[in-house]
Amino acid sequence: MFAHFAQAEEQGQSLDTMDTAEWMQLAQQCGLVEQYGLTKSTLLRIFAAGLQEEGFGAHDHEVELEASFEEFLEMIVVLATYVVRDPFLPTHNKITRLLDRIS
């Protein structure tokens, strides 16, 4: 999934990182926007949380961040925790449930 969308912006671009445009494309094509009603703002906050960038978007709207594969995995954990809101369900089960729904 990461490799596919990390190259979505420009062919020939490095597969090492995923930027916010590619993250948004992943969310759109995997049905996250329709299925969970996620807004652009929410998706950008999830992206920033995966990068551990607390103030992302607060000051400089021109800043473009990129996520490594490891940060992408963090974003999936944050996303799963956000959309599967059962507080008693272990995180690994939330991730499995999310991935089952979008694949």
Q: Is the pLDDT of residue 55 over 80?
A: no
Cβ count near 31 (within 10 Å)? 11
Q: Tell me, what's the pLDDT at 20? A: 92
> What is the spatial distance between Cα 71 and Cα 18, in angstroms, rounded to a whole number?
9
Q: Tell me, what's the pLDDT at 13? A: 56
Q: Is the pLDDT of residue 31 over 80?
A: yes
> What is the spatial distance between Cα 92 and Cα 60, in angstroms, rounded to a whole number?
34
Q: Tell me, what's the pLDDT at 29? A: 93
Q: What is the DSSP letter of 89?
A: S
Summarize pLDDT for 36-51 with one digit per residue, the tens: 999 999 999 999 999 9
Residue 19 Cα distances to 10, 79, 87, 90, 94, angstroms? 11, 16, 30, 29, 24
Summarize pLDDT for 60-99 with one digit per residue, the tens: 555 678 999 999 999 999 999 999 999 999 999 999 999 9
